[in-house]
Structure 1
Amino acid sequence: MGRGRQKAKQTKVARELKYFSPDTNYRALEQELTSRSRNDVVTDSRRSAVGTDDDDPPGWGWPGDDDR
């Protein structure tokens, strides 16, 4: 009991968020899409260094993970 007012308020806020559509700033969007940042591009050297399991010492891993 006593949850009716809280639920109604949450429903009102959710409905406002769902149907609210702010004006689109196309100029800012264009600038963001056309800007070239070095941080956005993954180079081959970083790609090869990330996610390799070859650096793990022997015997390291989860118990029972002997398929190496």
Structure 2
Amino acid sequence: MGRGRQKAKHTKIARELKYDTYNVNYSALEKELGHPGDDQYVDKWADQYADDDEELETA
């Protein structure tokens, strides 16, 4: 009994996704996906783990 209403809702959502035009903020996307300005790799987890070289020297 409720299948017709459910199908209509899904159809409405599908049409909105298909035909709606979204405004994309390309400058914000570029900042989010871009590299740091100094072009060096920054490992944000480096402080939590010891380097492999240091472990080999102490062993």
TM-score by length of 1: 0.41
Report the structure, 1 or 2, having the larger helix content: 2
